Structure 1
Amino acid sequence: MADRPGAHRLSLRAALALCLSLTNAAQAETLRLATYNVALSRDYAGHLVQDVERRDQPILQIAAVLREVAPDIVLLTEMDRDPQLRALAGLQQILAEQGLIYPYSYAGPVNAGVMTGLDLDGDGWVNDPEDAQGWGKWPGHRGMALLSRYPIGPARTFRLSLWDDVPGSMIPTGEPAQVRAIQRLSSKSHWDIGIALPQGGTLHVLAAHPTPPVFDGAQDRNGRRNADEIAWFNRYLDGEAMRDDAGLTAPLAQGPVAVLADLNADPFDGEARRGSLRTLLGHPRLQDPAPTSRGAVIAGVGGANDAHLGPADQDTADWRDDPGPGNLRVDYVLPDARLRVSGAGVFWPIPDAPLHEEAMASDHRLVWVDVDLP
Structure 2
Amino acid sequence: MATAADVLRIATYAAPLTRDGPGLLLRDILRGDDPQVTAHAAIIAQADPDLLVLTDFDYDLDSIALRAFAALFDPPYPYLFAARPNTGMPTGQDIDRNGRLGEPRDAQGYGLFNGQGGMAILSRLPIDAGGVTDLSALLWRDLPGADLPVLDGGPFFAPAVLDVLRLSTTGHWIVPVLPPDAPPFAIMAYAASPPAFDGPERRNIRRNRDELRLWEQVLAGHFGPVPDDFVITGNTNLDPQRGKGDRAAMAAFLAHPLVQDPLAGQPTADWRAIGLGKLRVSYVVPSRGWQVVDARVVWPVPDGDPAFGAHHLVWVDLAR
Sort the TM-score into its range (normalised by shorter chain): over 0.9
Shift of 1:357: 8.7
1:129 maps to 104
Shift of 1:274: 2.1
1:53 maps to 30
Identity within the alignment, %: 37
Structure 1 moving runs of 4+ over 2 Å: 250-253, 356-360
2:90 maps to 115
2:19 maps to 42
- Residue 287 of structure 1 contacts residue 335 of structure 1 at CA under 8 Å; is this kept in 2? yes
Tell me, yes or no, if structure 1 residue 348 matches structure 2 residue 299. yes
Could you say what secondary structure the match of 1:38 adopts?
A: coil
Could you say what secondary structure the match of 1:260 adopts?
A: strand
Match 2:77 to one of 93, 102, 120: 102
Aligned-partner residue type, residue 122 of structure 2: L
Q: Distance in 2 between matches of 1:234 and 1:330?
A: 17
Q: Distance in 2 between matches of 1:230 and 1:359?
A: 30
Q: 1:74–1:359: structure 2 CA closer, same or farther, 3 Å change rule?
A: farther
Map Cα deviations across residues 145-190 of structure 1 (whole Å, 9 max, x no partner): 0111110012110111010011111111322111111110001110
2:182 maps to 200
2:247 maps to 274
Q: Distance in 1 between matches of 2:28 and 2:95?
A: 32
Tell me, yes or no, if structure 1 residue 93 matches structure 2 residue 75. no
Could you say what secondary structure the match of 1:137 adopts?
A: coil
Map Cα deviations across residues 54-76 of structure 1 (whole Å, 9 max, x no partner): 12111111110011000001100
Structure 2: unaligned runs, 5 residues or longer: none
Tell me, yes or no, if structure 1 residue 28 matches structure 2 residue 5. yes
Could you say what secondary structure the match of 2:132 adopts?
A: strand
Aligned-partner residue type, residue 225 of structure 2: P
Tell me, yes or no, if structure 1 residue 167 matches structure 2 residue 148. no
Q: Please, what is the CA RMSD of the aligned residues?
A: 1.8
Shift of 1:339: 1.1
Shift of 1:290: 1.1
Aligned-partner residue type, residue 282 of structure 2: D
Match 1:79 to one of 57, 62, 65: 57
Shift of 1:126: 1.4
Q: Distance in 2 between matches of 1:124 and 1:320?
A: 34
Which moved further from structure 2: 330-339 or 271-280?
A: 271-280
Map Cα deviations across residues 210-250 of structure 1 (whole Å, 9 max, x no partner): 1000012111100000000011111111222x2xxxxxxx2
- Residue 58 of structure 2 contacts residue 118 of structure 2 at CA under 8 Å; is this kept in 1? yes
Q: How does 1:1-374 map to 2 (within 5 A)?
A: 28-55=5-32, 56-95=34-73, 99-153=74-128, 154-173=131-150, 174=155, 175-240=157-222, 242=223, 250-253=224-227, 255-290=228-263, 311=265, 314-322=266-274, 324-349=275-300, 351=302, 361-372=308-319, 374=320
TM-score normalised by length of structure 2:
0.92
1:4 maps to none
Shift of 1:113: 0.5
Q: 1:87–1:189: structure 2 CA closer, same or farther, 3 Å change rule?
A: same
- Residue 285 of structure 1 contacts residue 337 of structure 1 at CA under 8 Å; is this kept in 2? yes
Shift of 1:350: 6.2
Map Cα deviations across residues 281-307 of structure 1 (whole Å, 9 max, x no partner): 01111100016xxxxxxxxxxxxxxxx
